[in-house]
Amino acid sequence: MSGGCPYFEKKHLLFKSKLLLNEEEADESQKGINKASKGGIIYGDYLQLDKVVTAQVLQSELKGNKIHDEHLFIVTHQAYELWFKQILWELDSVREIFISGHVRDERNMLKVNTRIHRIVMIFRLLVDQFSVLETMTALDFYDFREYLSPASGFQSLQFRLLENKIGVPDNLRVPYNRRHYRDNFKGHESEMLLSSEKEPCLLKLVEKWLERTPGLEGDGFNFWKKLEANIFEGLCLEKKKIAKMPDSEEKEEMMEELTKQKELFTSLFDIKRHEHLLSKGERRISYKALQGALMIYFYREEPRFQVPFQLLSNLMDIDTLMTKWRYNHVCMVHRMIGSKAGTGGSSGYHYLRSTVSDRYKVFVDLFNLATFLIPRHWVPKLDPNEHTFLFTAEYCDSSYCSSEDSD
């Protein structure tokens, strides 16, 4: 954008603090010495480039042995941190919409979904970004890595904040050398982390929102009860059909499979089992929220659920991309420092590998629900004339304006 970005320049525009300039005149205004005098701002100042592009100090140079590739190392990490900042910016704004209750006004769903999607696009870039650092070989890295001690990526405040705010739970983190991740941070930073653990994370906010999914009401459409009835009726019909088949190995297999299916779905409707899985960290959201998610899956084409369905997809994308990022990171580390297999001590490489795990997938329930899909004709029917609630969105009068303001 930067190099010759005229839409950037276009801004001189119409309603510039009531300073109406046309294009030629805007250009005029850039001429010579009196540019600043017109009160505008110039590119380098706007972007604070005096800070950003002067922040590359090579430790190797300071220590009298300037190594060319350290510059790449610094710039790459700074670029990661810049984008982490942007992700936090989006994440905080979305969390704010949920926390303030503005999400009840469904006009805000576009905003929520767009910003979550933007995080997806940033992570996609971050995954690709490894290809640049990979132009540095292990040997190039070796030449300066000694100077960096004891600095460590574990000390990236923003990445830890990001994990916390999305919802990586403290108790599922893989410990590194028996130390708590927060011990890498001191004073102010440690407090920021602690407070980010206490604030409602995206996972918890989405959970609350899913619990309010229209159609779950026991005195209304009562999706969950209807679904249970349909599934077991379907399985029963299936059983009868199989029973009528002449005896054969195939028939036996089908019967066995049917039994397994029944067990599977019985477990789905068993709240005790849900609580058990929750306690083990194998499920992360409430039973009600799980129902909401499944409802959105099955009725995703209903007008009110179209954007919510996109949102659930985007949340899975974030999870997937974060683990891909972790995995790409592992691959790079393997190339840079080897596996140190046999040298004893849990290595950084092996630690990192262990974080490429479903434990770090925050929205793991949204993936695992794929286990409980059913044929379309088992899904409880919605009559659009009767069940108009899926056609009519809600808004929130009072909060609307404030929502606008807050943004």
Site for its own copies, residues 85 to 144, rule: CB under 8 A: 85-86, 89, 93, 106-111, 113-114, 117-118, 121-122, 124-125, 128-135, 137-139, 141-143
What are the beta bridge partners of residue 16? Answer: 19
Among 170, 191, 199, 407, binds its own copies (CB under 8 A): 407
Nearest to 103, CA basis, from 311, 303, 295: 311
**Which of 100, 347 has the CB closer to its own copies?**
347
Counting contacts by CB under 8 A, is residue 21 touching its own copies?
yes
**Which of 218, 376 has the CB closer to its own copies?**
376
Q: Smallest distance from the beta carbon of 268 to its own copies, in angstroms?
A: 10
Written as six digits, the tokens of 186 are: 């001191």
| Binding to its own copies in span 259-278, by CB under 8 A | 260-261, 263-264, 267, 277
**Which of 6, 218 has the CB closer to its own copies?**
6
Identify residue 112 by its one-letter amino acid code: V
Burial 308-334 (b: 16+ CB within 10 A, else e): bbbbbebbbbbbbbbbbbbebbbbbbe
Q: Smallest distance from the beta carbon of 170 to its own copies, in angstroms?
A: 15
**Which of 229, 373 has the CB closer to its own copies?**
373
Dihedral angle over CA of 305, 310, 316, 317, nearest 10 = 180
Counting contacts by CB under 8 A, is residue 14 touching its own copies?
yes
Return the SS3 of 179.
Answer: strand
Q: Smallest distance from the beta carbon of 33 to its own copies, in angstroms?
A: 7
Alpha helix (H) ranges present in 100-171? 109-133, 138-145, 157-166
Task: Go through the chain and tell me how many residues it has.
Answer: 407
- Residue 260, classified by CB atoms within 10 Å of its CB into exposed (0-12), middle (13-18) or buried (19+), is exposed
**Which of 195, 371 has the CB closer to its own copies?**
371
| DSSP codes, 248-286 | -HHHHHHHHHHHHHHHHHHHHT-HHHHHHHHHHTS--S-
Specify the stretch interacting with its own copies by CB under 8 A; choose among 202-210, 212-220, 222-230, 294-302: 294-302
Please state the separation of Cα 347 from the chain's center in Å: 28
In sequence order, which residues have a C-beta less than 8 Å from that of residue 333 and are 6 or more positions away?
348, 349, 352
Q: Smallest distance from the beta carbon of 35 to its own copies, in angstroms?
A: 7
* Helices 202-211 and 287-298, packing angle to 10 deg: 70
Per-residue interface string for the shown chain with its own copies, residues 308-347, x marking contact by CB under 8 A: -x---x--xx--x--xxxxxxx-xxxxxxxxxxxxxxx-x
Among 84, 98, 221, 224, binds its own copies (CB under 8 A): 84
Counting contacts by CB under 8 A, is residue 63 touching its own copies?
yes
Q: Smallest distance from the beta carbon of 50 to its own copies, in angstroms?
A: 9
Q: Smallest distance from the beta carbon of 254 to its own copies, in angstroms?
A: 4
Among 95, 291, 302, 362, binds its own copies (CB under 8 A): 302
Among 170, 229, 371, 402, binds its own copies (CB under 8 A): 371
| Binding to its own copies in span 374-393, by CB under 8 A | 375-376, 384-385, 391-393
| Binding to its own copies in span 145-184, by CB under 8 A | 145-160, 162-163, 176-177, 179, 183-184
Q: The tokens 């982490």 sit on which residue?
A: 84
